[in-house]
Amino acid sequence: MKGLRARRAGLVVAVVLGIVALAQTPAQQPTFRTEANYVRVDAYPTKDGAPVTDLTQADFDVLENGIPQKIEQFEHVMIRGNLPQELRREPNSVAQSRAQMTDPRARVFVIFLDTGHVDVFGSHNIRQPLIDTLNRLIGENDLVGVMTPEMSALDVTFARRSTTIEGFLARHWTWGDRDKLVPEDPVEKDYQICYIREPGIADEMIARRREKHALDALDDLVTYLRGAREERKAILTITEGWLLYRPSQPLADAKRSAPPSIAINPATGKPAIGDRNFPGAPPASDCDRDRLNLAALDDEQDYRRLLDEANRANASFYPIDPRGLPVFDTPISAPAPLAVDLAMLRQRETSLRTLAENTDGLAMVNSNDLARGFKRIVDDLSSYYLMGFYSNGRLDGKFHALTVRVKRPGISVRARRGYLAATPGAATAAAATRDAATTPAVANAETAAVGSAIAPLAGYMRDEPLRVQVAAGWKTGATPSATLWVEGELGGDVALLAKWREGADATVMITDTAGATLATARVEIPRGSRSFRVALSPSPALTSGDYVVRAGARSGDTATTVPVRDILRIPAPAASTSSGAIFMRRGQTTGNKDVPTADLRFRRSERVRVEIPTLSTTAAGARLLDRTGKLLAVPVTAALRDDTDGSRWRTGEVVLAPLAPGDYVIELSEGNTRMLSAFRVVP
């Protein structure tokens, strides 16, 4: 299923937070251990809704799989919020802020703005109470994060000062999209065009797609937070709730009719007569494919899986309905029958209450007093107890249930529900990691190499009219020749994509750093395609040094020149070496054929293949790494491929279905040489 999720990711800054103990906390705090069988537990006891602050270690019992455990460490942490902005010290780097998340005394908050399930009134109504809550909540060392469904959890940036979030909410107080008649998402506009005579079909497709994106994003966030720290993570979810769509046979059987003779094109807002005046109309096959995929959704199952993953990750949800006390679920402009509307309203409320109750959070629903509800959340998170014990359970890689009890009567306690025990292999790896700390130069070099490979992915937050990838190497033969292979891919908004569908041509030029042209090539991009691949072998041959690749494109129907977005400076390789890599994509959208791609965002339904030019005939090793350099148990198929142009390619191919959204690195190695190529998986 297609979809673009970068609509607002560039506008939203996200933060992630820790906490400060009261002044009476000892300056030298005990160190919480990290052994494989050492488990940390955070507990939040309350009485009549208020935190209980005078408990001792003797008041607690901790059980693992029903077996009592001996508490080895105990600490009470209280939070002092509402500090001036100037006292909140910002991390010096992303790596430093992520390291601060691992502090067992730190709370982590993420504010999730569910843009597709909040209307304009709700996004405005929640702004000031949310800002006031942040000012009361955030302490000296707190980290807070903001995320939307359009973002990957890995796109979250980090800060401590709430002014960044306040600025966003002040500038974009109408961020809610639920009741907007004209969607901003180009894919949703495509649905309206495809089913202009059956608007109900487009409306259901849009609603299903938005719900899928929201649940996928929350799952991505929970997965990320689980790897970031063991202790509780609080996710303040601003949403009106979900209907939890099930498979729909009527939607699967729906038919697409021809547009009326006279209509308004949703993409342009202008009158259109028949098919010939719908230049933005997507291919019928694209809409039908998405309709079938959306009809098969089972969000109820995904929702249940999200609850399980949240408990495994020790993540608590605090869902907040920004409407306050809603009367109707559907807008006045398109009301549903009263009985249907009431059922939808109750389902959304139930989904939020269930989310909170099953993850030890609190739900703010059916209340016009948002400030009071936020105060409950602040109080709930203002005091907690940290405990640690050595597990007597097995290192079996399974989920171990935890139960925390307070012996004093009348007290309720919410605590971590369990943890995933390490496997013996993981425990050995963890020990090796600790030993590697004695050789920081090697560890730092590895981190730098993986970070350098992933760094260019930061440029994939939004769509561009033209992207380019370049690989430099040597062709085989009696006299090997230096060659540059250039891949390009056309993109942009819905209007520009419509032009590209009519066909286009691209021009690629290689120049030296002084601007002198060394080689050019023109390639025709056929109708229905958006990518190209071309090889250039300048004469005289390239020597080792820096060169510039310039690319431009022109649509076939309007002769409109697209501004060049990728001007790449690349090093020409020394003899028998290579630099750079190019990629191939394969999936339903490509007709299950390999096509060149310069857009390094891939979906889980696709395969990705990286190709690196080589003169070698030696087989290479291949591995998949995550963004931290950790080896993943996902196979990479390595091979050597000879092309008809005399080039030879070392390839690595990965099936993406097992991967969660995030950034990954394919490592191809030959002897002591490693080649790292990064790509991104999007929901």
What DSSP string describes 251-279? Answer: HHH--PPPPPSEEE-TTT-SEEETGGG-T
Between helix 163-171 and helix 127-137 the angle, nearest 10°, is 180
Out of 233-237, 381-385, 481-485, 614-618, the most confident range is 233-237
Q: Which domain range does residue 457 map to?
A: 447-682
Looking at 361, 396, 420, the residue that finishes a domain is: 361
Mean pLDDT is lowest, of 2-6, 12-16, 650-654, for 12-16
DSSP string, 476-511: -SSS--EEEEEEEEE--SHHHHHHHHT-EEEEEEEE
Per residue in 523-543, pLDDT (tens digit) is 888 887 888 888 888 777 776
In angstroms, the CA 493 to CA 575 distance is 42
**Please, which pLDDT band fits residue 92 given cuts at 50, 70 and 90?**
low
In angstroms, the CA 492 to CA 500 distance is 9
Instruction: Say whether 149 sits in a helix, a strand or coil.
Output: coil
**Please, which pLDDT band fits residue 679 given cuts at 50, 70 and 90?**
very high
**What's the full length of the chain, in residues?**
683
What is the model's pLDDT at position 142? 74
Mean pLDDT is lowest, of 164-173, 572-581, 660-669, 670-679, for 164-173
> Do 98 and 179 have their domain in common?
yes
DSSP 282: P
What is the model's pLDDT at position 10? 34
> Do 98 and 46 have their domain in common?
no
Instruction: Say whether 280 sits in a helix, a strand or coil.
Output: coil
Q: In this prediction, what percent of the chain has a pLDDT beyond 70?
A: 74
Measured in whole angstroms, how far is the alpha carbon of residue 576 from the centre of its chain? Answer: 38
Least Cα distance to 169 among 124, 230, 207, 209 occurs for 124
> Do 159 and 57 have their domain in common?
no
- Asked whether residue 373 is domain-assigned, the answer is no
- Asked whether residue 62 is domain-assigned, the answer is yes
Residue 183 has pLDDT above 70, yes or no: yes
Residue 303 has pLDDT above 90, yes or no: yes
> Do 226 and 295 have their domain in common?
yes
Residue 1 has pLDDT above 60, yes or no: no
Residue 333 has pLDDT above 90, yes or no: no
- Asked whether residue 7 is domain-assigned, the answer is no
Mean pLDDT of the chain: 77
The arithmetic mean of pLDDT across residues 453-473, rounded, is 79
Residue 3 has pLDDT above 50, yes or no: no
- Asked whether residue 461 is domain-assigned, the answer is yes
Least Cα distance to 500 among 352, 252, 334, 283 occurs for 283
Which one is predicted more confidently, 510 or 59? 59
In angstroms, the CA 468 to CA 581 distance is 11
Least Cα distance to 606 among 647, 570, 659, 646 occurs for 659
The arithmetic mean of pLDDT across residues 630-646, rounded, is 86
> Do 322 and 463 have their domain in common?
no
> Do 198 and 291 have their domain in common?
yes
**CB atoms < 10 A from the CB of 319, how many?**
26
What is the model's pLDDT at position 150? 83
Tokens at 188, concatenated? 């949703």
The arithmetic mean of pLDDT across residues 136-151, rounded, is 78
Mean pLDDT is lowest, of 211-215, 429-433, 625-629, for 429-433
DSSP string, 59-79: GEEEEETTEEE-EEEEEEEE-
Contact in structure between 474 and 575 (CB atoms under 8 Å): yes
**Please, which pLDDT band fits residue 318 given cuts at 50, 70 and 90?**
very high
The arithmetic mean of pLDDT across residues 286-300, rounded, is 88
Looking at 432, 455, 472, the residue that finishes a domain is: 432
Domain count, the chain: 3
**Please, which pLDDT band fits residue 11 given cuts at 50, 70 and 90?**
very low
- Asked whether residue 482 is domain-assigned, the answer is yes
CATH number at residue 410: 2.60.40
Backbone angles phi, psi at 345, to 5 degrees: -60, -45
> Do 512 and 652 have their domain in common?
yes
DSSP string, 574-610: PTT--EE-EEEEESGGGTT--EEES--EEETTSEEEE
> Do 149 and 255 have their domain in common?
yes
Mean pLDDT is lowest, of 181-190, 208-217, 553-562, 631-640, for 553-562
Residue with tokens 């020597």: 543
What is the model's pLDDT at position 667? 92
In angstroms, the CA 638 to CA 649 distance is 11
> Do 617 and 520 have their domain in common?
yes
DSSP string, 216-263: HHHHHHHHHHHHH-SS-EEEEEE----------HHHHH--PPPPPSEE
What is the model's pLDDT at position 396? 76
**Which residues neighbour 251 within 8 Å (Cβ) at sequence distance 6 or greater?**
201, 204, 205, 291, 294, 295
The arithmetic mean of pLDDT across residues 130-153, rounded, is 78
Tokens at 169, concatenated? 């909410």
Q: In this prediction, what percent of the chain has a pLDDT beyond 90?
A: 20
Residue 37 has pLDDT above 90, yes or no: no
Backbone angles phi, psi at 125, to 5 degrees: -65, -30
> Do 96 and 120 have their domain in common?
yes
**Which residues neighbour 402 within 8 Å (Cβ) at sequence distance 6 or greater?**
39, 41, 62, 63, 64, 415, 416, 417, 418, 419
Per residue in 425-461, pLDDT (tens digit) is 555 544 444 444 444 444 556 677 787 788 778 777 6
**Please, which pLDDT band fits residue 317 given cuts at 50, 70 and 90?**
very high
In angstroms, the CA 486 to CA 536 distance is 8
**Which residues neighbour 322 within 8 Å (Cβ) at sequence distance 6 or greater?**
118, 122, 123, 125, 126, 176, 238, 240, 370
In angstroms, the CA 649 to CA 580 distance is 12
- Asked whether residue 366 is domain-assigned, the answer is no
What is the model's pLDDT at position 355? 95
Contact in structure between 578 and 471 (CB atoms under 8 Å): yes
The arithmetic mean of pLDDT across residues 157-173, rounded, is 61
Strands 601-603, 673-682: parallel, antiparallel or unpaired by DSSP?
parallel
Q: Is the peptide bond before 573 cis (omega within 30 degrees of 0)?
A: no
- Asked whether residue 646 is domain-assigned, the answer is yes
Contact in structure between 65 and 392 (CB atoms under 8 Å): no
In angstroms, the CA 203 to CA 294 distance is 12
Strands 531-536, 545-555: parallel, antiparallel or unpaired by DSSP?
unpaired
Residue 613 has pLDDT above 80, yes or no: yes
**Please, which pLDDT band fits residue 325 given cuts at 50, 70 and 90?**
confident
- Asked whether residue 442 is domain-assigned, the answer is no
What is the model's pLDDT at position 130? 83
What is the model's pLDDT at position 24? 31
Instruction: Say whether 156 sits in a helix, a strand or coil.
Output: coil
Tokens at 203, concatenated? 């409306």
What is the model's pLDDT at position 50? 83
Backbone angles phi, psi at 307, to 5 degrees: -60, -45
**Please, which pLDDT band fits residue 204 given cuts at 50, 70 and 90?**
very high
Which one is predicted more confidently, 257 or 122? 122
> Do 231 and 349 have their domain in common?
yes
CATH number at residue 660: 2.60.40.2550
Least Cα distance to 611 among 634, 645, 588 occurs for 645
Q: What is the CA radius of gyration of the chain?
A: 27
466-474, strands of its sheet edge to edge: 531-536, 482-490, 466-474, 579-580
What is the model's pLDDT at position 381? 74
> Do 265 and 391 have their domain in common?
no
Between helix 284-295 and helix 186-194 the angle, nearest 10°, is 100
Per residue in 118-140, pLDDT (tens digit) is 988 888 888 888 877 777 777 66
What is the model's pLDDT at position 277? 44
Residue 230 has pLDDT above 60, yes or no: yes
pTM above the 0.85 mark?
no
**CB atoms < 10 A from the CB of 497, how many?**
18
Strands 143-147, 108-113: parallel, antiparallel or unpaired by DSSP?
parallel
What is the model's pLDDT at position 259? 55
Residue 199 has pLDDT above 70, yes or no: yes
Looking at 403, 432, 461, the residue that finishes a domain is: 432
Measured in whole angstroms, how far is the alpha carbon of residue 232 from the centre of its chain? Answer: 20
**Please, which pLDDT band fits residue 14 given cuts at 50, 70 and 90?**
very low
**Please, which pLDDT band fits residue 680 given cuts at 50, 70 and 90?**
very high
Contact in structure between 286 and 187 (CB atoms under 8 Å): no
Mean pLDDT is lowest, of 8-22, 104-118, 150-164, 423-437, for 8-22
What is the model's pLDDT at position 23? 28
